[in-house]
Structures are given as C-alpha cells and as structure tokens.
C-alpha cells in the first residue's frame, strides 16, 4: 500500500468502529479511513480492482460513492467479494452510483421540475453537439465519459451484491440510512454547487440533481 503506512496503523489501532471509504476523491469523511487510487494528503493509496490490503473482518463499514461504475463488472464482483471479506459479520457496504433507469427517464415526454433541472445542469457543464437533444447527450456521457465502464440499475446492482455474498440490499434516499454511521455520507452532490449564486438555494438544487441521477444501496454481510 502506497502512502504513509502510519496513517493506516494509527487508524486501525484507534478507530471504533472502523470505516473504509474507497474512491474518496475530494470528499474525505471524518472518522473514516479515506482511500483513493490518486490519494490526496491524508488519504491512502488503494486500487479498487486489486485485493484489499486489510485483514479479514477488520471493518464495520465500507462506503464507495460514484466509484463502482468506473470499473468493469468482473472487477466490481471482485471488489465486493473483498469488501465482504474485510467486513465483520453484520457489517455493511453502502454504494452510491448512477442509476441507469433514472437517466433513461429523462426521455419521458412529460418531465418533472427536477428532471428539467438535471437537463439544464447538463447543458451548462456539458453542452451537447448541435444535432443532439440534451437527454441523448446525457445518456452518451453516462456510458462513455468520466472513465465509466459499467452502469447499473437497482436490480443489477442488487444481484451483483448478492453474487458477492451479501444479503439482499436495501435502497435509501440521498443521505438517509437506518444506521447512524451511514447517514449523510454522500458528498458528490457538492460537485453540482456552482461557485456563485445563493448557496443555500444552490445546495438544495444540487442535492435534488444527485438524488435523481443516483441510487444509494446498502447490503449487510451475513
């Protein structure tokens, strides 16, 4: 494992319960061991496509936000099997990822205000080619941009979790959980907040966008 080994040693010796975030990016979570393939200061290097360098049953929680869609389905199965291995019995994995069905619903003839907001945001940051409709542009970006490799709907992600040995998954809304350690862990919505304007209003809109295009599933280890 690259990075300062003392970060891992200190965390493993002092944290209770132990909580691992994979693919942290810009959004460190206090009280978690924050890891990334391109670690920032205070984070630890971790490649999600390789065996996790932790002992069996060493964590109570694993969380990955907007990460699993960046690896192949075979790699995702391998990652989730590793998550199961390092979790204690009854420990939980929580995944936040793009919801394919929600993206496809942008093609509906009648759109909700939130769907219009998603389209407007996409037009601002990813202007489509002149011959494309916004929803067509978003669908193509979902599959091809940002290093995405495999996009899930809820049944396929649930089945993948079960294939990796987890109990049936439960779906939650953004920031919600029936476990206190997993409430409010989503931070990707902050990427939708512009640098100017009314911040409280902008944050509400950003959370609505992320809640629309994403799904949040938790599954316990038997």
> Which residue do the tokens 């599954």 mark?
219
β-pairing verdict for 19-22 and 59-65: parallel
Domain covering 5-220 in this structure, CATH number: 3.40.50
Cα separations in angstroms, 49 against 72, 111, 138, 165: 9, 38, 27, 18
Residue ranges of the domains in the chain? 5-220
Find out whether 102 and 213 touch, Cβ atoms under 8 Å.
yes
The tens digit of pLDDT for each residue in 101-155 reads 999 999 999 999 999 999 988 888 888 776 788 899 899 999 999 999 999 999 9
Strands 33-36, 44-45: pairing is parallel
Note the pLDDT of residue 200: 65
- Per-residue model confidence (pLDDT) at position 197: 47
**104-107, long-range: CB < 8 A, 24+ apart:** 104/139, 106/134, 106/135, 106/138, 106/139, 107/135, 107/139
Assess contact for 96 and 188: CB atoms under 8 A. yes
Tens digit of pLDDT for each residue in 174-196? Answer: 999 999 999 999 999 988 776 54
The Cα 117–Cα 54 span in angstroms is: 42
């Amino acid at each position: 494992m690259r990075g300062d080994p003392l970060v891992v040693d200190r965390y493993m010796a002092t944290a209770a319960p132990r909580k691992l975030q994979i693919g942290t990016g810009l959004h460190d979570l206090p009280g978690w061991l924050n890891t990334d393939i391109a670690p920032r200061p205070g984070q630890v290097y971790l490649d999600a496509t390789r065996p996790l360098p932790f002992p069996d049953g060493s964590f109570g929680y694993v969380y990955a936000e907007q990460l699993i869609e960046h690896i192949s389905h075979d790699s995702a199965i391998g990652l989730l099997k590793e998550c199961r291995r390092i979790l204690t019995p009854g420990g939980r994995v929580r995944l936040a990822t793009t919801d394919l069905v929600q993206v496809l619903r942008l093609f509906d003839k009648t759109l909700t205000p939130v769907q219009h907001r998603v389209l407007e945001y996409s037009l601002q940051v990813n202007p489509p080619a002149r011959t494309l409709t916004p929803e067509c542009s978003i669908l193509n970006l979902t599959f091809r941009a940002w290093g995405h490799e495999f996009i899930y709907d809820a049944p396929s992600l649930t089945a993948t979790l079960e294939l990796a040995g987890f109990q049936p998954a439960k779906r939650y809304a953004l920031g919600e959980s029936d476990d206190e350690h997993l409430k409010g862990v989503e931070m990707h919505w902050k990427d939708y907040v512009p640098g100017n304007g009314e911040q409280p209003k902008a944050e509400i809109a950003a959370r609505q966008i992320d809640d629309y295009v994403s799904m949040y599933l938790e599954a316990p280890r038997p």
